Homo-oligomer: A and B are copies of this chain.
Amino acid sequence: MRCVGPTLSDKELRDLQDQYSFNPEIEERAEFYNLISNPIRLKIIHLLREKEAVCVCDLKDIFGVTAAAVSQHLAKLKAHRIAKSVKQGQTVFYSLTEHPFLSLIPLQ
């Protein structure tokens, strides 16, 4: 049942339902915002804009968390194709991709 108060017309309501109830573009963007809503992941992105490529080992020292925690954050960034990795010996270097959504994050 519709509300009675001074509200939208039936047509306006239908239009907004069509536009918003299912909207993959906005939903995809929300998912990206969720990815960068973690302070460590957002910091990793800023840091990789500055440093090009950094290993897990250094990231764990910078943020003061375990290597496991850093590795899990990097795996999420990688799963969203925001970061990529290159193995050099036993060291894994992470760097940013050219993902278009990265432009949603302003430079420092």
Contacts and interface: CB of A to CB of B under 8 A. Distances in A.
A46 B30 CA distance: 12
B33 A37 contact: yes
B13 A61 contact: yes
Interface of A: 2-3, 5-8, 12-13, 16-17, 20-21, 23, 26-27, 29-31, 33-34, 36-39, 42-43, 46-47, 51, 54-55, 57-58, 61-64, 88-91, 104, 106
B89 A57 contact: no
A27 B39 contact: yes
Given A62-B13, A104-B104, A88 B42 contact: no
A14 to B, nearest CB: 9
